[in-house]
Structure 1
Amino acid sequence: MVASDAERPVAGADVIIGIDSGTSVIKAVAFELNGRQIASASVPNRYASGADGSATQSLSQTWRDCAAALRGLGDKVENLATRTAALAVTAQGDGTWLVGRQDKPVADAWLWLDARAAPTVERLAAGPLGRARFEATGTGLNTCQQGSQMAHMDRRAPELLDHAEVVLHCKDWLYLNLTGVRATDPSEASFTFGNFRTRRYDDTVIEALGLSGRRKLLPEIIDGTMVTHPLAAEAAAETGLKAGTPVSLGYVDMVMTALGAGVCGGEGDVACSIVGSTGVHMRAVPTGAVHLNKEGSGYVITLPVPDLVTQVQTNMATTLNIDWVLGLASDVLKEFGHEAGHGDLVARIDRWLDDSRPGQIVYHPYISEAGERGPFVNANARAGFVGLSVNHRYPSLVRAVLEGLGLAMRDCYAAMGDLPSELRLSGGAARSQGLRGILSAAVHAPVRVSSREEAGAAGCAMMAAVAIGAYPDMDACIADWVTPLLGPAEAPDPALIGVYDGLFPAFGAARRALGPAWDMLAPQRRNTAGASAKMPQGA
């Protein structure tokens, strides 16, 4: 169902707003109907982390920050309220946002970063319906997901679910505040509780999670390319926009960013990687061509295109590894009274690459406190170097970290089938020519970089553009919004391909062998942390 006549934009409206509520920042971005970005406004996001693995965020504050970002956009775009034809919203995926009576928050949201459900994941993964759940969702179970977190709450803190009337994701919570409608989209619904083939909830999946008794908490599923709801009067007053403006519920941010960056369109087996704090590696395939790996890892996430889904593997940390290795240099310089900003250190990366030999050290980029989830799931996995010698210096470590990112990317794409024929990159780190060369050689594919500044906001705005009839379908929208912004193909260096072909088996062998060591280290870390906390000051 397309927006009704009452919801259609008034004549002369020429702007679509995309909202992207990420883990670190909430953005509101204005686009012309043809996809040209006009302006953006942002508000820093805030969440709290705990020693118990918790990562939580205030629902009320998130909505206030979203409204502030929209008001900020209004300050930059003259007559924004009357010019806005539609707005759309996407946000960080996974996590659990509990809403109770009168649409009030039950508690702070559990974010995708929250690791408290790890024991529940182990229990459920070993259950009799574990493989059936994976076959339906195409998605490996991990601590990030709403299903895992709800199952953990149901056992450890059932009062949270008892007080809830609906369980939402971040973008769903913002959509509720914008429109008054409790809903979710086909992408998060199907990879968490459903079947990617039908894009609906699945009884076997819900049973496998032990949540059959909580099914009433799951919201209606709507597709934002076909259904919109009008901006509520209260939300209009808070955001400065016009009541009745059509609002589209976007898909999860991973596929919105991939859509905006170019995961669809072009010849051959095109793939798209988001090289940000986390690494997201995706390829668009017909529903019937999905490759489900034997490890039961990764995601299958529907696209807002009929019979097309993304296969996804995600690394918990990507540029966080670069931040860590550069932070070592910064800390040492600071000890000697010298300050080096992050930008200064980033600018030296290509020089350090020139001062080091490729393929000498294996680095596993599992630097996140939450471990790893792609292409394997282990909350205890940690980063490390294999193969260090006295001849290695700091430039060798920098190179090894970047090569580790490339090999981890290859590990992810190999778990989805053949390596891609073209790799499209999005994210700030894609601006590094040295890193692009490493990634290209690691996956045997030419690289193209999208110049789209805000791919996630663009992806959901594209859904709104189709919903209000600005384009007849998503393919036509992609032709205007995406394809013209893709840079030229950068071919991989054949010599580096050979180096990384030789290094990759060592990367995989070490990764598999280190599993028991990671698992033994985990309780040791916890015990040591506890002892440190009890140690008297000055001891």
Structure 2
Amino acid sequence: MPISVSGAPSPIPPPEGTGEVIIGLDAGTSVIKAVAFDRQGRELAKTQCDNRLTHRADGGVEQGLEATWDAAVTTLTTLVAEHPELASRIAAIAVTGQGDGTWMIDADGHPVGDALLWLDNRSSEIVAHWRASRIGPEAYRRTGTGLNQSVQSGQLAWLEANQPQRLARAATVFHCKDWLYFRLTGERATDPAEALWTYGDYRTSDYSEAVLEHFGLGRHRHLLPPIVDGSREYAPLNVEVAHAIGIAPGTPVVLAPVDMLATALGAGVYEPGKRVACSIIGTTGAHMCARQDMRDIVLSNQSCYTMPCVAPDTWVQLCSNMAATLNLEWFLKGQNQLLAALGEPQLDPEGLLSRLDTALATTEPGRVIYHPFICTNGERGPFFNPRARAQFLGLSSDTNQLHMVRAIYEGVAFAARDCYHALEAHPEELRLTGGAARSRTLCRILASVMGVPVRTLTREETGAAGAAMVASLCLGHHRNLAEACGTWVTPFLVEERVMPDPDLQNLYERLFGVYRRSYANADGFWRHFERVTAEF
């Protein structure tokens, strides 16, 4: 059973012999990272390992449970092997990972097939039906989370309809981090955020029988693991796993929040008395703000996620768009494919993004509108449409490729503002993390689109840092989340803020309306295009 710590009148001290180093294990979709931090939140060492995913012809995207576990163990083992001086100083391991998806095990703890990832599109028709009927709105009133093809409930319904024998073998349904926590400790558990946004009621902080019944999943209630708050409980590291990694058995293992929330916490989304928002702009886009009063929670267009924050009586709401930097990756890949087909040398990847950033800084803004819906699964936020497709609007013979790339940057920024519009969030400062935070041009565009200063961090591994900060709370290193953020977040905020450009802000204010109206009018085209292309 997990060991309660900060819920006791006097925090239980960590096991004798543990030290001051906390490892944040962050299991992303394609890369798993292990990052070691000291008690001041400073990064000491880092390793990573790739994790493979499989794209199926029917729209499925899957990942092996054992392969994911092997990658996680390899990452941890390599970290300790490369930095043996850390082994005796490790106080805890904190686990976070990719959100949504379906990771199933049987009664003996063995995987029941491969995991369905958040990218899996096979439940789209089920989810579309739920959203169009009373099911979606009724569930949304309790979960505070809009249904999309990524969420586990729709995937379970798809499995029941299409692979019932497989579902019948399952004893527990996890999310990614829960599977790794189980392998590290033997405990079947999930964190409050994913439990509640999938099947729960944010008002009661528990699973909701009514939500399960709305989905027609009531008979599968036994598959849902207990909810564990990692800021208050940990479980000891399995002896066999400890020996494999090279650290002490019984080392506390903390089930941290899902990666988006862990990253937001690590980037400073929680700052009492200040209206701060946090955007993660990487392959996807995730846009979050804290609600310090339940009455401030927005239930608007079924596009948001609502999750309990680590601080008492505080929630984080999120609106996530499927593709962010993936749009730029697609464009540059296409350029290289064209050059290769012509027998020309490809773009030199060394310093490419930095060179591109410099060129875009002097490229005329707003020449083209771009809708960044490049993901084959369509869009999930701030609207749900599996047919949505990316598009350039306003091309002419005067348009060059720099205009198009700048339009991609602007489209990603418009998508972020669109998500905050759905959240009804009005931040006074935007904290930015993810790969896009390295782009000064994107920061300036985002600040001008949002109309607020943008602030980045001096470190990149904010997800692992946020997870480790939760473990630090669990071990009693801090009295509360605000104090923890004073150690783990504030010292790592870049002092200089990127301010909006007044001229750009005026232009983007007008173009944002064009951006929204043009995609709102595109559904008829997307429907017809899908129908025609399906015939070939």
TM bucket by the smaller chain?
over 0.9
Residue matched to 2:508 = 500
Supply the distance in 2 between the matched residues of 1:136 and 1:470 (Cα, whole angstroms).
Answer: 34
Q: Which ranges in structure 2 are unaligned for 5 or more consecutive residues?
A: none
Give the percent of matched residue pairs that are identical in Structure 1 and Structure 2. Answer: 42
- TM-score (normalizing by structure 2): 0.95
Supply the distance in 1 between the matched residues of 2:272 and 2:404 (Cα, whole angstroms).
Answer: 37
Q: 1:353 and 2:360 equivalent?
A: yes
Which of 437, 441, 444 is the aligned partner of 1:437? 444
Decide whether aligned partners of structure 1 residues 418 and 251 sit closer, same or farther in structure 2, where only a CA change above 3 A counts.
closer
Supply the distance in 2 between the matched residues of 1:259 and 1:501 (Cα, whole angstroms).
Answer: 29
Supply the distance in 1 between the matched residues of 2:68 and 2:460 (Cα, whole angstroms).
Answer: 23
Give the residue type in structure 2 aligned to 1:282. Answer: M
Q: 1:517 and 2:510 equivalent?
A: no
Deviation track 1:309-365 (CA, whole Å, cap 9, x = no partner) reads 111111101001111222233233332421213344323323442453212221100
1:349-498 aligned at under 5 Å gives the runs 349-354=356-361, 356-487=363-494, 488-498=496-506
- TM-score (normalizing by structure 1): 0.95
Residue matched to 1:323 = 329
For this pair of structures, how many residues does the alignment match?
Answer: 528
Q: Is the contact between residue 289 and residue 425 of structure 2 (CA under 8 Å) also seen in structure 1?
A: no
Residue matched to 2:5 = 2
User: Post-superposition shift, 1:478?
Assistant: 0.6
Q: Is the contact between residue 293 and residue 415 of structure 1 (CA under 8 Å) also seen in structure 2?
A: no
User: Post-superposition shift, 1:471?
Assistant: 1.4
1:170-319 aligned at under 5 Å gives the runs 170-265=176-271, 267-319=273-325
Is the partner of 1:220 in helix, strand or coil? coil
Supply the distance in 1 between the matched residues of 2:165 and 2:531 (Cα, whole angstroms).
Answer: 29
**Displaced runs of 4+ in structure 1, greater than 4 A?**
3-7
Supply the distance in 1 between the matched residues of 2:211 and 2:271 (Cα, whole angstroms).
Answer: 32
172-181 or 263-272: which moved more? 263-272
Which of 104, 110, 127 is the aligned partner of 1:104? 110
Is the partner of 1:527 in helix, strand or coil? coil
Q: Which ranges in structure 1 are unaligned for 5 or more consecutive residues?
A: 529-539
Residue matched to 1:532 = none
Q: 1:136 and 2:139 equivalent?
A: no
Decide whether aligned partners of structure 1 residues 343 and 388 sit closer, same or farther in structure 2, where only a CA change above 3 A counts.
same
Supply the distance in 2 between the matched residues of 1:201 and 1:341 (Cα, whole angstroms).
Answer: 51
Decide whether aligned partners of structure 1 residues 344 and 80 sit closer, same or farther in structure 2, where only a CA change above 3 A counts.
closer
Give the residue type in structure 2 aligned to 1:526. Answer: A
User: Post-superposition shift, 1:34?
Assistant: 1.5
User: Post-superposition shift, 1:388?
Assistant: 1.1
User: Post-superposition shift, 1:72?
Assistant: 0.6
Q: 1:145 and 2:151 equivalent?
A: yes
Deviation track 1:350-382 (CA, whole Å, cap 9, x = no partner) reads 344245321222110000011111100111101
Supply the distance in 1 between the matched residues of 2:532 and 2:89 (Cα, whole angstroms).
Answer: 59
Is the partner of 2:521 in helix, strand or coil? helix
User: Post-superposition shift, 1:10?
Assistant: 2.5
Deviation track 1:503-531 (CA, whole Å, cap 9, x = no partner) reads 01110111100012112222333332xxx
Supply the distance in 2 between the matched residues of 1:303 and 1:525 (Cα, whole angstroms).
Answer: 44
Q: 1:333 and 2:336 equivalent?
A: no
